[in-house]
Amino acid sequence: MRMSERFVAVAILSLCCCKALPSQVIRGAVVLRDSIAPVAGAVVVATPERSTVSVRTLTGAKGEFTLRLPAPGRYDLKVLRIGYRPTPGPSVTVAEGATETVRIVFAAEAVVLSAMNVRERETCRVNADSGFMVARVWEEARKAMLTSQLSADGAPLFAEWIEYDRHLDSAARVVKEQHVRTSRNPTTHAFRSRPPEMLDSAGYVVVDSGATSYFVPDAEVLLSPLFAAGHCFQLENAPSGQSSLIGVRFQPTRARRDMREIEGTLWVDRQTAELRVLDFNYTNLSEVAQATHPGGRVEFLRLADGSWVINRWSVRMPQLAAAPRISNDGLRRSVMTRTPIVVRAIQVAGGEVTRVTRGDSLLYAATGPRVDIQIVSSDTLIGVAGTHIALEGTDYAARADAAGRISLSPVLAGRYRARVVTPLMDSLGVPSIAHEVEARDAAHVDTLKLPRPRDVLAKVCPRDSIDHGEGMLRGTVRTAQASAVKQAAVVVTWQTSVSVIGSANVDHLNYTEKTIGTYTDSAGRWELCGVPQQVLLTVSVVSDSGSDAQRTRLGGEFGAVDLVARRDGAVLNSEGARSRALIELAVFNLQGAAVPDATLEVQPQSGPSRRVITGPTGRALLPDVAPGVITIRARRIGFKPGELSATVEAGRNTVPIMLSEVATPTLDTVRVVGGRRVTTRLDEFDTRHRSGVATASITREDIIKRNPVDAWQMLTNVPSIRIVGRDNGVTAQSTRSGHLLPDLTMEPCFLIVMVDRLILNGTPGQKAFDLRLLPKPDEIHGIEVFAGAASIPAQYGGVGDGKWCGMIAIWTR
């Protein structure tokens, strides 16, 4: 079987190859000395007189066998059974097309391996006549391998198995990636290797076209005369704690020790003489590869009916790569170093038989390793029920029951990196937590502790929004028919600094109202950080579908409120929605970036003042405000504070506020249509025009006043640019900079032109744009000129890197 670092394929071969059956047949049965009890699972060998090529078959459950012979002639019969000496049978002459019937009485002389010691010297010649004790153990191993290659007449074996290809880290500790495939087919053996002749000539590790292929020996290879002739053998003591085994160790002969070969041990049970395991390693590899102990393991299994199968196999291969090369020693000198080879990963490929049946009889069922995890939480806010676990690099996954218990079985043995996430963490987008777990046969429970609510909160909320013990409130907004309401405004309001002021025998209640808000997503979900704990909160929603309000207290780091938007809502019913205002306050700097954590004191025409703080997007929501003029006091560290006024109407309003480090706050342009602010492509032009960001900003009023024939005429008096008329067009050149050519001459640098965010000549090497092609003056809302690369807004590609000399931006109506 070939194993490649680039691609690994463990092939389990079904018995689907049928040849034309010979016409000569020997039928019979093998019985014990009482001539009644059948001998099942024994190998019957027929050897022709003038040839060494034998014909073999396996006895069935009733001791019956059928040998189909390739040619007529005289054949010597022999019965092989694991744990017993060979029993010679009769010699049978079979004519062409004839069928002969025989009955063989099995001698049942047991092979004694339990008393063998391992002092015998190494031998490089092993066969049935060698007389060495190592040959006796080797012969028992051969019987098991022969049996696993044969099938008896009758119902075939059906095997279910998994094949896997997994990649471990460079230390071979943790599974990083794994692919598993399941199959079911009639079979007697797990995989087939390369032919013995090819392995004998090319070796077991072959490098071809940059790929390194590793080959695993199957039973046919181990039974071949070429393998026996190319290896030396000796007995070996069992590993510590496994005294019931005795091993036959093999290694390449002296003539083959320069080849990429294999060496290993076949382990046989001393009491039953049954073959258990083949362990092997690859030889003559590089030191880096050899340090990873490349090799494999093949395990043999005797089924309930006496049949043998290979039930588990694997091969371990290092994946090598060049280490990162050091090109500088820190002293501005180039350092040429030899590129070392390091282990990038360990690839393990193989398979396991999980179930074997014959007809309706179950002959084998594997239990397999398992992973058991107990999820533990220190707080009821982070529930254990429904916790999801997935083993990294695999498709193994499961969910915890109500008690937090997770079981995965069967799982391929090994250590895995488990990714665990609770339903709350998943809904908040909190990354899963990692924990190493181990899959093994012995009962073992890994305990995994979930993070504290405060730790989860810190991953989803800005740090300064929860510095004083605040938490998160979340929930959904749906209609009475359970449909999600998207883009609904959800507002949480509470009162602080409540005090009673008495004057002239009249007490006045004075307080500051704090409000934070957000919009629902496409699924109707919403989340708000910075909500105080143990404070009476009013949670309300305003939408086209209706409104709702609920009062609650946040009793921990997380709380949930589900709102139902009804036309007869408790806060803003259909009539109330027309008589009150919902204000969205949006705070930006002069460059158009959002300003979070800005404090806004809002004083409506009637009612108490209310204070809101903008969130990470620079926005805050203020519901249930009386229409009319409102006064806003804005302040933020690093910006100049100030006061401004705005007029709001019933319904939904947006008030954009511009903060500056040097000037008092100003209002951006507000367009209200049907009680809603409409965001248009012209907003950014109007904002920059008011703040004076561009070198020159020409409005629609300027164009009307000058009444030019062509738009380029509005640019003739703009500082830092020159309008040049040529026979082939009108262009705009920068007077600040140019392009230095290789001959040290200076070439003019032309400004790029953008119309409604579409850059028309921004490609390097493209000719200057002909300004005569600009839209007509009556089609233009405004013109901006950015006379240098550093002044071009970042959203249009301006980063001050000198690739452009400047830009002319045209905004159509």
What is the arithmetic mean of pLDDT over 789-812? Answer: 74
Strands 642-648 and 628-635, bridge-based pairing: antiparallel
What is the arithmetic mean of pLDDT over 242-258? Answer: 88
* Separation of alpha carbons 165 and 811, rounded Å: 59
pLDDT at 670: 54
What is the arithmetic mean of pLDDT over 171-181? Answer: 84
522, part of any domain: yes
721/745 same-domain check: yes
650/697 same-domain check: no
pLDDT at 726: 67
- The answer on pLDDT for 188 being more than 70 is no
- At 234 the three-state DSSP class reads strand
* pTM score of the predicted model: 0.52
- The answer on pLDDT for 335 being more than 70 is no
What is the arithmetic mean of pLDDT over 112-132? Answer: 61
387/358 same-domain check: no
131, part of any domain: no
* Separation of alpha carbons 751 and 748, rounded Å: 10
What is the arithmetic mean of pLDDT over 23-52? Answer: 88
234/313 same-domain check: yes
613/648 same-domain check: yes
Burial of 332: CB neighbours in 10 Å, binned 0-12, 13-18, 19+: exposed
CATH number, domain of 375, equals: 2.60.40.180
* Separation of alpha carbons 582 and 560, rounded Å: 23
Number of separate domains in the chain? 4
Of the candidates 84, 138, 132, 133, the one whose C-alpha atom is nearest the C-alpha of residue 111 is: 84
594/631 same-domain check: yes
Burial of 246: CB neighbours in 10 Å, binned 0-12, 13-18, 19+: buried
- Beta bridge partners of residue 167, listed in sequence order: 177, 347
108, part of any domain: no
360/377 same-domain check: no
Residue with tokens 């008690």: 403
312/175 same-domain check: yes
pLDDT at 514: 81
pLDDT digits (tens, 9 = 90+) for 342-365: 888 899 988 888 888 888 888 888
Residue 130: which pLDDT band, with cuts at 50, 70 and 90? very low
Contact 619, 662 (CB under 8 A): no
What is the arithmetic mean of pLDDT over 294-322? Answer: 85
395/443 same-domain check: yes
Q: Give every CB contact of residue 119 below 8 A, 6+ residues apart in sequence.
A: none
343/357 same-domain check: yes
Give the DSSP per-residue string, 499-543.
EEEEETTEEEEEEEEEEEEEE--TTSEEEEEEEPTTSEEEEEEEE
pLDDT digits (tens, 9 = 90+) for 396-411: 888 999 889 998 887 8
136, part of any domain: no
Query: What's the 3-state SS for 125-182?
Result: CCCCCCCCHHHHHHHHHHHHHHHHHCCCCCCCEEEEEEEEEEEECCCCCEEEEEEEEE
276, part of any domain: yes
427, part of any domain: yes
- The answer on pLDDT for 12 being more than 50 is no
Domain boundary residue, one of 399, 422, 454: 454
What is the arithmetic mean of pLDDT over 559-582? Answer: 65
% of the chain surpassing 90 pLDDT: 12
What is the arithmetic mean of pLDDT over 743-747? Answer: 67
pLDDT digits (tens, 9 = 90+) for 430-486: 888 888 888 888 888 888 899 888 888 888 888 778 888 889 999 999 887 778 888
What is the arithmetic mean of pLDDT over 595-605? Answer: 86
Alpha-carbon dihedral angle through residues 570, 574, 576, 577, given to the nearest 10 degrees: 110
Residue 238: which pLDDT band, with cuts at 50, 70 and 90? confident
Higher-scoring residue by pLDDT: 389, 605: 389
Domain that holds residue 343: 157-326+339-365
Residue with tokens 């305003």: 542
- The answer on pLDDT for 279 being more than 90 is yes
331, part of any domain: no
CATH number, domain of 777, equals: 2.170.130.10
Q: Which of 152-161, 255-264, 479-488 has the lowest mean pLDDT?
A: 152-161
Give me the chain's average pLDDT, please.
80
pLDDT at 572: 39
* Separation of alpha carbons 180 and 166, rounded Å: 8
357/379 same-domain check: no
276/296 same-domain check: yes
40, part of any domain: no
pLDDT at 22: 52
- The answer on pLDDT for 5 being more than 70 is no
pLDDT at 47: 92
Residue 9: which pLDDT band, with cuts at 50, 70 and 90? very low
Of the candidates 774, 764, 773, 766, the one whose C-alpha atom is nearest the C-alpha of residue 802 is: 764
